[in-house]
Structure 1
Amino acid sequence: MSVRANRIAEQMKKELGDIIGQKLKDPRIGFVTVTGIDVTGDLQQAKVFISVLGTAKEREDTLIGLSKAKGFIRTEIGQRIRLRKTPEIEFEMDESVAYGNHIESLIRQVNDENEQ
């Protein structure tokens, strides 16, 4: 990723956290954390990685709610970040947080078994 794409990704991450946390009123959207953004080199597309606290159903509902709000979110991003063309946004679950928690619990389990 180019330096410019990195800068735009960081700016988008900051703005998305604000937009999702304060502007969206959709009851399907739970407690969302934007964990990362991959912007293509031509700045046409942005893949937004999110983590959501809650059950699998709540995570799924949050993705649906965010997908429905894509147009609004993109408009807000366009107003906050001055770009000729605002990237298309695609939301994806960031499984790395859940995977890290799973690994941590396995390590804890092994340590507990060794102490006995």
Structure 2
Amino acid sequence: MARHKQTPPKMPSQRQLRAGELIRHALVDILQRGPLRDPALDGVIITVTEVRPSPDLKSAKVYVAPMGGEDREGQIRALNRGASFLRGRLGQAIDMKFTPELRFHADDRFDAASRIDAILARPEVARDLRHDDDDTDGED
């Protein structure tokens, strides 16, 4: 019986990386310039952290971290509702053969980093870390 190797996820090509950065910079400019007319996005600062275009560059996952407001999922839904408007603006701002279809996703890396920082700041963890440092200092 033949075994199927599980292939690792493909790394993005240089073309995808360049296109992603071009799109990210353009979206940042678009979001800074004009207010979006969705009430869920009133007073919300949106940080575009990463753009991952598909290999054919016809669609892109846009990872954002909305700052402010409490309904992050509602803000992501609002961005996805306005994706066609943003795509139109993006088409005017960039020079690509196709303007990609945009799909917005919440970037939770900042939340994960905050959770790790909180764990490391706990007294019992800090004590253990100090204890480990004391043990390694005497081994030289």
Query: Runs of 5+ in structure 2 lacking a partner?
Result: 1-11, 131-140
Distance 1:38 1:78 in 2: 17
Distance 2:121 2:32 in 1: 33
- 1:10 is aligned to 21
Once structures 1 and 2 are overlaid, which stretch shifts more, 66-75 or 48-57? 48-57
- 2:46 is aligned to 32
> Is the alpha carbon distance of 1:86 and 1:28 closer, same or farther for their aligned partners in structure 2, counting shifts above 3 Å?
same
Higher helix share: 1
- Deviation beyond 4 Å, 4+ runs, structure 1: none
CA-atom RMSD, angstroms? 2.0
Q: In structure 2, the residue corresponding to 1:33 is in which secondary structure? A: strand
What TM-score, normalized by structure 1, do the two folds share?
0.86
- 1:65 is aligned to 78
Q: In structure 1, the residue corresponding to 2:40 is in which secondary structure? A: coil
Q: In structure 2, the residue corresponding to 1:28 is in which secondary structure? A: helix
Percent identical residues: 28
What TM-score, normalized by structure 2, do the two folds share?
0.73
CA contact (8 A) 2:50 2:63 kept: yes
Aligned length: 114
Once structures 1 and 2 are overlaid, which stretch shifts more, 5-14 or 46-55? 46-55
Query: Runs of 5+ in structure 1 lacking a partner?
Result: none
Once structures 1 and 2 are overlaid, which stretch shifts more, 76-85 or 21-30? 21-30
